[in-house]
A and B are shown apart, each in its own frame.
Chain A
Amino acid sequence: MADQLLEVEGLAKHFRGGGNWLTSGGDVIRAVDGVSFSVEEGETFALVGESGCGKTTVAKMILLLERPSGGTISFQGTDVSRFRGSGLREYKRLVQAVFQDPYSSLNPRMQVLDIIGEPLRVHQRMHGRNLRMRVGELLENVGLNPVTASFFPHQFSGGQRQRIAIARALALRPRLIVLDEPVSGLDVSIRAQILNLLVDLQRDLGLSYLLISHDLAIVEHMSHRVGVMYVGKMMELATRDEFYGNTLHPYSNALLASVPNPDPDIPMGEAIGGEVASPINPPTGCRFHTRCPIYMETSMCRDVEPDWREILSEHLTACHKVEPALV
């Protein structure tokens, strides 16, 4: 792959909280607890995990919607927390997002022209005919008729709304788009339309994607590299072929085995027991040890946090039971 576009190093986000409305709670929620990965030019990097694993919090920090408690995010080699003024505006232009729910991510009182045009007005002071032409062009890019610019969100179906959200994200010619579960709110037949559109746009515009998803089939279809998170930690990171062909971490294996295969002749794998651990007082040692099928009482899984190691070239994992093949 080409150059690094975004690099995340030891990223952490701890929230105060726990407790309930009576006890304000001195607990610390370790939503993200030291996560490192990078997104390269033109690639799709997927963050996979179950609810509460911190994948969305990572996305929010990259979008500057949450301030990290630790670690750094660098964009094209510069620490984003140092961005001020025009540098900050430029970062916000280059990094865009498409969210899960196209029903709540579009303002129902705004025309499509204003929804897609707003970033153009704010960042590029575009207006009048130029603005209308650019919005029309963007609508065409995402497969919508330019005359729909005067419509309101309620006049569109879910799939079309997601296209509008994509057009808005494309308006400022970004380099990186954070896709947070972009198709989970859509019907099966519409999902393929949106996924194909995203793949086409990436190819035509050379975009990078950070794809947040819990759907391993979609991730396999879309991504070049995959990172698996569990309770705020990265468990495994590899290229797509390595990840799906040579899975190392028992949690990744469990995730893959849990997907009901749409082939009646391939039975479902062994399900793991237990529930996703809480990020408040997460398990000691390896966070997955409470559910791990290969955990052993005598091992250090319970007490020592496994190191984040490169086991094979570009294939990292945090597990005591996986021995590096690299010398």
Chain B
Amino acid sequence: MVNRTIEDDTLLRVEGLKTYFFQRNAVLKAVDGVSFTVAQGEAVGLVGESGSGKTMTCLSLMRLVPQPGARIVEGEIWFKNENLLDLTEHEMRAYRGHRMAIIMQDPQTSLNPVYTVGEQVAEPVRLHLKERGQQAMARVLDSLRSVRIPRPELRLGQYPHQFSGGMRQRVVAAMGLTTEPELLIADEPTTSLDVTIQAQFLRLIRELQQESGTSVIWVTHDLGIVAQMCDRVNVMYAGRIVESGRVRQIYKEPQHPYTRALLDSVPLMGARREKLYQIEGQPPDLRSIPEGCPFWPRCPDAMDKCKEQYPPRTSLGGEDFVHCWLTEEGR
């Protein structure tokens, strides 16, 4: 696997990534052996509940895991032909904010309140593109325009508090996209936005993605966003990807009981379910992840085997796979 030459259109290949939190008397396995790929121009979803490790996976990709406390203990992150985990911090800076960018959940905290919006969008331009003065200004205006901020000439002299939530999130997107990154990581960028504003933002990102061919990793717990925005989806549970596949395939025929349960437990517009499917119990506590498959205490189909051993990866054709004893045994 490791020495496999990367196919031409693969942009990112994550192999066996493990990111742990080290506490005084416990090790929290936030990311515990995650592998997935992102092709060029592809939008890939990372879906899961809080604590499933989706945000930690993204921070690991950017090598921004909280220090001290957390550490990437194992794995490889291939960005084209370079393993990001082999780079020095200095070399990593050429990637972060330039070839790969991240949009965080909360536009309130990801913008600095004491700098103007123009200064903040200009920062990646100065640092990575080494542009100054008029040239930099022109690029900042372009990127504010590209995220459809009205009257950018006026807006770039203003401060974040003068922007609405939706507009702020566009500024963050502009910061991320101004260097034309090859990979954009969007970590729940719309959770704080109103529905109509969210719809505008989703549409915008999709248009920008089509224009520039950027690959996107969408981190979300909203299955609607995944259905609308992604080509592939990776379902995470307790730090691992339990199922991976093309969106259509997974939504039509989910293989993993957790995926199925997630899809059945959300109210769908127009579906009129009498009762929602109810996943019993709580999402796992990372301090005490159950032996075997971590989902077994909540799984309606759990067998004895599930309590003892983590199921191997069962290929479902192509890149698609699932980790479940039911599928493995049923083959």
Chain A CB within 8 A of B217 CB:
no
Chain B CB within 8 A of A268 CB:
yes
Interface string of B57-97 (1 = CB under 8 A from A): 00000000000000000000000000000000000000000
Interface string of B189-228 (1 = CB under 8 A from A): 0000011111110110000000000000000011111111
Contact segment of A35-43, A98-106, A269-277: A269-277
Chain A CB within 8 A of B269 CB:
yes
Q: Are A275 and B166 in contact (CB under 8 A)?
A: yes
Interface size on B, residues (CB 8 A): 46
Indicate whether A260 sits within 8 Å of B276 (C-beta atoms), given known contacts A189-B49, A271-B203: no
Chain B CB within 8 A of A220 CB:
yes
Residues of B within 8 A of A196 (CB): 275-276, 278
Give Cα A27–Cα B202 distance, bound, in whole angstroms. 34
Residues of A within 8 A of B195 (CB): 50, 214, 216, 255, 258-259
Chain A CB within 8 A of B115 CB:
no
Q: Are A264 and B251 in contact (CB under 8 A)?
A: yes
Q: Are A261 and B224 in contact (CB under 8 A)?
A: yes
Contact segment of B24-32, B178-186, B258-266: B258-266
Indicate whether A188 sits within 8 Å of B265 (C-beta atoms), given known contacts A262-B227, A264-B248, A268-B202: yes
Chain B CB within 8 A of A8 CB:
no
Mark out the residues of chain A between 178 and 192 whose CB falls within 8 Å of any chain B CB in the assembled complex. Answer: 187-192
Give Cα A265–Cα B228 distance, bound, in whole angstroms. 9
Candidates B197, B202, B263; contact of A260 at CB < 8 Å: B202
Chain A CB within 8 A of B300 CB:
no
Chain B CB within 8 A of A78 CB:
no
Interface string of B243-286 (1 = CB under 8 A from A): 00001100100000000011101111110110111111011000
Candidates A222, A258, A262, A265; contact of B223 at CB < 8 Å: A262
Interface size on A, residues (CB 8 A): 44
Residues of A within 8 A of B266 (CB): 188, 191-192, 217, 262
B316 to chain A, nearest CB (A): 17
Chain A CB within 8 A of B288 CB:
no
Interface string of A127-163 (1 = CB under 8 A from B): 0000000000000000000000000000001011000
Give chain A's interface residues, CB within 8 Å of chain B.
50-51, 157, 159-160, 187-193, 195-196, 199, 214-218, 220-222, 244, 254-265, 267-268, 271-273, 275-276, 291
A-B CB contact pairs (8 Å), 9 listed: A50-B195, A157-B282, A191-B266, A195-B267, A221-B267, A264-B227, A264-B248, A267-B228, A271-B203
Give chain B's interface residues, CB within 8 Å of chain A.
49-50, 164, 166-167, 194-200, 202-203, 221-229, 247-248, 251, 261-263, 265-270, 272-273, 275-280, 282-283, 298
